[in-house]
Amino acid sequence: MTQDVWEGHDYLARVFDRWVSDAGAAFQAAEIEGVVVGLQRLRPFAPGLVWYEGLRVASEHRRQGVARTMLEAAIDEARAQNLREMRLATRDLPAVRLFESAGFRRIVEVKWWRGLRVEGGEPARMPEATEARKLWPFVASSRGIELYGGVSPDLNGARDLDATELERLARSGLLRVGPGGRALALLREPWGQNIAVSLLAGAGGALREVLMALRFEADADGLSHVTINLPPGHPAEEDLRATGYDFADAENSAYVYALKL
């Protein structure tokens, strides 16, 4: 079912056992005449929010309405649980058309930037949770923040962007701050051997210091590179180029969508 997804590099095989054993989520299959032809997963990830992921349909059963039927069943189940919103991330254009036709609205578009690891410098500072909450006014007023659509575009689960989210990330060791609190990087769990950044705030020298510090941190941790999600046209593009980052995939974007339930 996944061998022709992303040229055979589908992540589903790596997470399959973990997903099956996760009692906090619903990992569902669709069958036709006793044969599994589709998969999907529903995962509550924040109060009132459910993350939809892993939609797959076997190639010989595509364009037969299987994906739409599965999606509609997932939406019905989320509504039955009195959840307020379903969110998801995708970069697949047929999936985009499916989700938009089902009423999902696009919250944010991001492209991937990459910076290789660099030796010799200090990693960025990780703030305490109480300090992180106090950084929210700076984040809320930083240039380009409106491009994120009010969420942190973590492609594992996009949460509302607020002081509570900064505190949660700090408690999880997923927040990096620059000098004087004038720049921040919000991290997410990576999909590979890299540091993954979901959101940047700040500009100029302070942000460039954080961007370089992330490359130093990747080297110190034995990782290959830093990956950063950034909305097209964000003012941090100039700072990324100045600190040795470039597009990891200039042609494609990922999108976060939401559906009010």
Average pLDDT over residues 40-46: 96
Distance CA 163, CA 160 (A): 9
Instruction: State which residues form the domain around 201.
Output: 110-254
Report the Cα–Cα distance between both ends of the chain, in Å, rounded. 30
77 in the same domain as 114: no
- Report if residue 90 sits inside a domain: no
Please list the alpha-helical segments (H only) found in the chain.
12-21, 66-80, 93-101, 129-134, 136-140, 163-171, 204-220, 236-242
pLDDT tens per residue, range 46-88? 999 999 999 999 888 888 889 999 999 999 999 999 999 999 9
Categorize the per-residue pLDDT at 145 as very low, low, confident or very high, splitting at 50, 70 and 90: very high
Categorize the per-residue pLDDT at 5 as very low, low, confident or very high, splitting at 50, 70 and 90: confident
Distance CA 246, CA 14 (A): 28
- Report if residue 229 sits inside a domain: yes
- Report if residue 167 sits inside a domain: yes
| Last residue of one domain, picked from the residues 31, 64, 83 | 83
| Mean model confidence pLDDT for the chain | 94
pLDDT tens per residue, range 153-177? 999 999 999 999 999 999 999 999 9
Strand pairing of 194-202 and 225-230? parallel
Strand pairing of 49-57 and 85-90? parallel
Task: Please report the pLDDT score of residue 75 as a whole number.
Answer: 97
| Domain CATH code at residue 233 | 3.40.630.30
190 in the same domain as 155: yes
Distance CA 91, CA 110 (A): 10
Average pLDDT over residues 99-120: 97
User: Which residues partner with 260 through β-bridges?
Assistant: 85
pTM for the model stands at: 0.93
Contacts of 123 (CB under 8 A, 6+ apart): 176, 213, 214, 216, 217, 220
Structural domain total, the chain: 2
- Report if residue 227 sits inside a domain: yes
- Report if residue 96 sits inside a domain: no
125 in the same domain as 77: no
